[in-house]
Structure 1
Amino acid sequence: MKFILTVLLVIFCRATFLAADENLPRVDTSIEAPLFQLRPAMIETIRSSGSGRVAEIPVRLGDKVREGEMLLRLQVDRLDTELRRALTNYNNIRSQLAAAEQGGDAEKIASAQQLSLVAVTELRELAERFRNLAITSPITGIADRIHVLEQEQVKTGQPALRIIQTSLMQLRIPIDSTTTSPGQLVPVLLGKGRITGTVAEIIPPGNDAAQFRPLIEHLAIAVIAIDNRDELLVDGELAFLPIAPMALVPSEFALALNRFDPQVSLQSEEGEVTSIPISIIGDAGQKQTLMVGAFQEGDKIVERAEENLEDGSPNWQPIGGTILFSKGNTIFTPKQFVSAMPALAESRADITPAAVEKTTDQISNSLTFQRPALLDSFLLPNEYPLCLTDISVLSQIFGIEKIDQAFFRQVNSYYIQEAIQKRLALKRIDDLKLATPSGKLSDYLRAVDRLNQDYLLAITPIQTTRSSHTQFASLFSGFGHQLIFTPQGQDLLNVTPEQAQRLKQTQNLLIDQREDVLNNYFKSSGSPDQLLERTKQILSAWKEDLTIMLTEPQREQIAQLNLISDSSPENSNSGEGAPNTNSTVVNEESEEQPNIRMPEALRGKSESTILPFLLLGAGVAFVLTGIVVGYILYKRKRSS
């Protein structure tokens, strides 16, 4: 029975030790780290996770990188081809589904839906393979070495970069192994103050600790991990613990010692004075020097005064400002240190990093889905191909991480080509005539909606998991109040079936009103500016009805969005009620609008209505000048 209890006790103690060990900071003891000097806790050599061509190295030598940040990205041409094929297959299936839904064939709809799920699963698998080509940093630190170049072919396991950790530092201190244990919190003293460290590991002493062997009975080296997320600590900075056999002395006194054979005079409690050799560790800051010697409890470091005592014996005076750390059964905890040595604790104030406060993600309302300026007052944000917005803006709205940018760029490029081939990438209102066979706005909007829904579904595998509040805020920034017309917005706002029906009626009314204005324009009964002014008024009016259609909780949900600016994207810079900031028809007080970056395939030569008149005027001026010069020459010839 005793044997069984003993075994169970050993197992319990071992399990407890392992559990505690797992919670200790991870420190690489193979790193060269002199005693009393702060060094990085980890130095990671990042190796290639696969074979391929280095497509991108977003970091440079000396750059700071965060844990999880992409360091480099590989490119495999075969994988790019597979993605294009998968997107084509997915797009064809979505077209089949749309045709089946239009025809009302339940069997074909079910079959197309099943194929669509399979196609999305294939895209999800490809997204994961693309993600694996992005090599990320396992630690926060500095890019110390870069072993590869862009466009270089690399193999699996080949060293690519080296990262020196800066968020966690290590410090090695000689200690008595009987006074310290892993997991213990200790006060670490520096020139700028003090900080709390954790004993991560106890290791055997090396050759650099030889001078401590006669001074410490059970000599060992404590490896202390120190939080440096605030980057207050510097690699190579001197740091120490307030433990024996160390002492702090005025730097002026230390400088006067013999550099080749430094010794100090010690006066014991009984008054006996002896000279002992010491080792100077270094400058401890605050005009103090750290030294090590065979100091005993009650000793004082003294120096002989110029005048002797009355009885002729030497007059030994204590060195002011000297602190000898006494030997104890255990090393001070941070709280014990403050209580035991309040003066030193006050002179070296606590610089322990404060806990990082969690902040709510802020979404800038300038992140809007973009349209050409000439269409800004004619189309809502959800009525134009989303893929034609600048890809950096799309990444922020949809929450696309850097490691997924390669997949995202491929998908976005594919749908840009789809938008161009289907003539949905309008640049002017007149382009609407060629966008659909009928040339009607309603048919164009249906085609755009199908394209956008297919696009959003295709990028679903790489959208980061965000809170519903953050997701709603980012989409609201992109769509503005028009978000309520989209399936995503209605889902996030918990729109009821009755509300959805009223919203559909409002949306149809908006389309019909603009359709009438558009027909009049195509019949040459108005100018483009008049059309845009009229559609601007139409789009502005619907917002007044929106408040009536929403419930109080829904209005509060919109009001509580954590947008950086108070104004919504559709009226942040333009006149009141304008549908977007990029409209060409704005009030006189409006700020100058930024140019929208259009894809290269959509960029063309700008057409100016003034240019022909300028050319005509220049031609007339040239002819008149020729006539005048000819007449003057003719008169001179006649007079001569």
Structure 2
Amino acid sequence: MLDHPAPHVTASSGASVPPRRRGWVWPLVVLALLAMGGAVAWRLLADRPATPPSAAAGAEPPPALAVAVVPAVSRPLARAVVGDGSVVPWQELVLGAEAGGLRVAEVAVEEGDHVRQGQLLVRLEDAVPAAQLAQAEAGLAEAEAALGIARADLARAVELSRSQNTPRQVLEQRQSAARQAEARLASARAARDEARARLNQTRIEAPYDGVVLRRSVLPGAVTGVGQEMVRLLREGRLELDARVPELDLGIVAPGQAVTVRHGAREIAATVRAISPNVTLDSRLGTVHVALPAGSGLRPGMFARAEVRAEASPGIIVPQEAVVFRNGAAAAFVLEGEQVRMRRLTTGMRREGMVEVLDGLAAGERVVRTGAGFLADGDHVRLAPAAE
């Protein structure tokens, strides 16, 4: 342990003081750098534009789609009612046997034959009916002879009663016998007529002109009462039973022109009648369309009918101007430089045009080209061709 304090260093000892001064230099350098950084930051903030770049870009108008527009026009539009159905006979006659137990002797027609009124279709064996007719005619002759005798006896009795040579009772008997003879004669005539009618029933003839649709018997078959023999299409006339929606029945009337389509074939026809009933399950009515002779159609064929109803004024637009949004028809109407979407209630479509029942007024301009790429409120510009 030292007995004296450490020696005090003085300036005269030759030691320097720089180490204490270097401790103050570094804080000054840091403060200088901070001051320079603040100046640079202030300069950058002063030179920054007042509006952010993103906001300035958003203020620019969006690009406008070039579209073509067309005015909605009002003009008479011939409405067409469309229906489909089967070809059926106008009147189908089922000819059957009136007499039973007779053998078929002859079938004079084939299916598809054209027949005339009164033409023989089927002949039954007539031996028994002919014999019955002969018997009835003989009985008629006998009754006529008996009536002649009774009348002669009555005439003699009348002459004798005038001279009072015959009793009153005899005269009354002769009068009664004459009346009985007259009654037997009337009965014999009825039996003769019945036998003749039975004989005529062995010949089945065509009641009208027509076409044989079906032949149901062959020679040698034994008939029953009411058995079907021949099915006849009266006058060869066919018609189409077109099924039409109930809402369209009100504009269909007899006599209107109809275009019937069967494949590539088109047939000019007319409406004959409208059925008064509508089916409950399908809500369809039946329009009877009379087909012309020589149409080439046959019963059972399926065809489509287009009834041309009377023309009525309506708003129409091109078909390409109608778009579908959320399952509903719509169109874009030009208002200034923007388009507005309108919901439409459409009717029939014909020759590239669509009938607008509600949603547009005549003269309004609708987008025809480019409507599928638009949304409500979009800015558009007219294409050069449209201008």
TM-score (norm: length of structure 2): 0.43
Which has a greater percent of helix? 1
Looking at CA atoms only, which structure, 1 or 2, has the larger radius of gyration?
Answer: 2
TM-score (norm: length of structure 1): 0.28
Which has a greater percent of strand? 2
